[in-house]
Each structure stands twice: as C-alpha cells, then as structure tokens.
Chain A
Amino acid sequence: MKIYPSFRLQLRDHAPAVIVYYAVLVSMVIISLIIMPFVTNPDDSGYVATNGVTAVTMIFSCIVSLCAFKDVFFLSLQYGVSRRTQFLARLMTMGTICAVLAVADELYTLLLQGLDHIFPNVFSGGSLYWMIYSSDGTSPKGPFFDIVFSFFALLAVCSFGYLLTVLNYRLNKLGKLLFWAGTPITVGLIVSYVSEHPAIAGRVVPFLMSLLGAGFSSLPRMLVTCTVLTAVFSGLTWLLMRRAAVK
C-alpha cells in the first residue's frame, strides 16, 4: 500500500492554500490594529467583528476540495497508486485538514477574544458554534465544543466539495452542461412553483424546517447529521472514483 505517501501528497497539495487563508485572516487583524487609531474614537461605536469565522472556512474548505481531485489523481496514477489507496488517503487527508482548520478557527477566535480584552469594544470574536447553539445559554460552551462542531461541519462540506469535483470529472461535456446549468434551473423552477402554490408551500416548507430541526437542532444531532452526510458523500465519491479513467 502506498497510502502514507499518497496521504502526504494530498496533504501537501492543501498546505499552501491553508497557509494563505490564515495569513489573510491574521493580516486583516493586523491591518485593523494598525488603522484602529485612525478610525475609532470614544464617541464612535465602530468595531472589528469576526464572528463565526468557521462559516467562511466552510466556503474556503469547499473550494479547496473542489480543486483537490484532478492533479492528485493524475500524479498518483503516474506513480502507480490505485484508486482505492487514493480514496483512503483522501479520507485521511480530509480528516486531518478539517481538524487543522477547526483548531485554527478556534485559535483565531481566541485571538480576537484576547484582543477584545486588550481593546474593549473594538474587537469582537465569537465562534459559529456559540452563535448557533450556546449564545442563549441552552448549550454548553467552550473551545472543545467549538472545535468539535467545526470539525464535523467542515468534514461534511469538504466531502460534498470533493464529490462535486469527482462528479464533474466523470461527466462528459453534455453531462456537465446538464448538471451545472440544469440543477440551478430545476431548483429555481421548483422554488417558483412552490411559491406560486401556497397549498404546496404550506406542506413543503414546514417539512423542510422540521427536517432541519431534526438534523441540526442540537450539537449531538448536528454531529450525527454531519457524519451521515460525510458518509453518504464519501460513498458516492467512491462509486464515481473507482472507475475513473485518465482523459
């Protein structure tokens, strides 16, 4: 098995993007610190708020996953790595990257909270978990819960992004056109149809809300939902990847 070198290769593929992403976030804080004396005064209520950075990180991780397939797939085949090994290494890479991003997001949030203590009323940083689940005091709070929440949320998003990129690779030109143009058009048509028919909307919207509630109403439910989503997305990815050929 070439799983360890394959894991290292995929990890290495992600590293520069992750470094640049956090460099940008930290640079924004530094720039805020530098320009702070010029934009704040005792009478002004202006402040720097970066609440729920994990929401941005989720978008970032999805984009990174969208770019993670083709180069690594080709290079791995050149070096005689089977698709199965590549897939297992991808799961390991995804877990590692999501763990790193979750911890880094927490450190960033703690940095902002630290600055909030030094410069009261100027900096504000709350985690996404805190904003969704524990800002009202109903759920426990703390860095551990922030990290666990971020890790599972990022895992689901990353696996979805990777599924999309593998699907895109497998589709032919017509398939790509139908999928990428057809999906938004179909969704748009369904939404218009439902909104034009209050009777249907009255059944569909509550159903969707109750589905969301069942899946995400508490941290344990959210963890289960994200794990299931990750498993489903990864399973579909494997089905697409196992017969992927060089083209």
Chain B
Amino acid sequence: MSIEITNISKSFGQVQALKGVSAGFKEERIYGLLGRNGAGKSTLLNILTGRIFPDSGTVTVDGEPGVENDRAQGKIFLMSETTLFPDAMRVHRAFHWAGSFYPAFDEGYARGLAEDFGLNLKSKITGLSTGYRSIFKLILALSVNVPYVLLDEPVLGLDANHRELFYKRLLEKYAERPFTVVLSTHLIEEVANLIEDVIIIKEGEVLRQESREKLLSGGYTVSGGAAAVETYIQGRKVLGVDSLGGLRTAYVLGSPERDIQSARDLEFGPMDLQKLFIQLTNS
C-alpha cells in the first residue's frame, strides 16, 4: 500500500520543473519532502493529486492508476498553498462539503480544532489572513481521515504558538490512527524530529530518498580550529565547510575517526538535517 511515482517529467514552457522523478510514499510513514524554492516539490504534489498533468510518467495509488481516478484520489488530501475554495464560501460550508466528499471526515473533530486554533467557522475563507487560511486547510487535512495527507508549506503564516499546536495535533492524530504524511516545508529544523523519511529534490530531480536515520548516519560534523579542521578533512569526502572567525565546521560523509592524530582538539557531532540539506542542495 503506497503511492508510487515513476519517471514523472513536467515542463512549464522552457522550464523543466521535474526530470524523470521516481519516488514512493509508503503507508503510515511521515515524509519530509525537501527542496529549495523552485525545486519542483509543489509541482510533484499537484501531479499526485491530479491538479496538473505530467508530460510523462505514472502515478499509482495502492496499485491502481492515480490520475483521474475518484477512488484513488479519495485516499489523498492535499493541503496546498493555493486556495481552491470559492470566494464566497465560509469555513463551516467547506466542512460540510468535505463531509460529502470524504465519508470519514470528522466534522466534530474539525470544529474542535477550529476552536483550539481560534478559527471562526462563519468567516469567509478568502477573508482569512494568510495564517488562518493555513489553519483552515490544516484542520481539513487533519479531519478528512484519508490514508495519505500531503501538506505543502503547512505552517505558512502561522505564529510559533499555532505551529506548536499544529505539530502537537498532527502527532496526536498520527499516534491515534497512523496515516501517511508528506510534509513539504522549508522549516527543516522544525520538522527534523517529526519526519521518518526524507526525499530531497534538487532542480527537478530526486537527490536522496531514504530514512532520516540512514541519511544522517552517513555523515558527521567536525569542528575546531581552522587549521586542525583543514588537516583532518584532507582526503575525506566533505559536503561543505562553515567558517566563523578562526573556527570551522566541516560536514563530512562517512564515519568519524576520533583516534587519529589529526582528530585531537576537534569536536565531532551528528549531522544536522538542515545543514546536510543546505550542503547537498547548494549549487
């Protein structure tokens, strides 16, 4: 049971947004879909949900074609940056229609979440602030009870309190009834401890798809004086180096060798997801 994307390509005029992307989202996992601006994350999610068509490639949902298939699409909910709700629609009407299209939609839970976040059910969706529009869409995403929930920039415009509340409710929901979550976000530090698998997209291509643990265990950081760090990293595969005054931090692939002569006076630490992402995607 999974969403499988095979060899998806998509161009917008001269710009090739996706270049033969293949990836999979297995059931009951939390994925981080990471990439720089314009990497193709939103395009990929829009293709998964049939909002746009790929130039080539296939999407399957639990083994059946995902494009233009009501049953397959009924298992997916995409919370996107773009608001697709009519101008005049109010929050409670959107909940009502969600209940019509998604039989498992829990309106009581949605209303409870709206109260927690302070969202007025009688507000017009287009009249909501950016933050509350995100909250409205997040509430829908958490209440539809489908196997695959895709969240594109879920915390856009949310203040710290609301972001924390969202992550809390997401984990509660996931613990109570596991489902697949795909988090596409630039706030990597915030979701680093939440995600189990990572897909990194760079310039329309999948750079990495593996578990967060495996990804992070493949490297480490080494910090210390500039000269000592430079000596240590000689001949090693270095992703990048940060400098601050006379101090340096290098991001190195492989396992640390703490016992060798050049490692004295150096500090070793685990690879940080955001740092790794930055180093991997810096062109």
Contacts and interface: CB of A to CB of B under 8 A. Distances in A.
B88 to A, nearest CB: 8
Interface residues of A, number: 20
A219 interface: no
B52 A80 contact: no
Contact of B84 (A2, A75, A82, A85): A75
Interface in B47-90: 49-53, 68-70, 73-74, 76-78, 82, 84-87, 89
A232 B139 CA distance: 42
Interface string B171-195: 0000000000000000000000000
Interface string A72-88: 00110111111111000
Contacts of B268: none
A72 to B, nearest CB: 8
A238 B53 CA distance: 16
A182 interface: no
B97 A82 contact: no
DSSP majority for the B interface? Answer: loop
Interface in A53-106: 71, 74-75, 77-85
Contacts of A2: 70, 74, 101
Of the four ranges (under 10, 10 to 19, 20 to 34, 35 or more), the interface on chain B belongs to 20 to 34
Interface in A108-156: none
A16 to B, nearest CB: 10
Nearest to A5: B100
Given A5-B100, A79-B97, A79-B101, A246 B70 contact: no
A75 B82 CA distance: 12
B281 interface: no
Nearest to B72: A80
Given A2-B74, A5-B101, A78 B53 contact: no
Interface of B: 46, 49-53, 68-70, 73-74, 76-78, 82, 84-87, 89, 97-98, 100-102
Interface of A: 1-2, 5, 8-9, 71, 74-75, 77-85, 243, 245-246
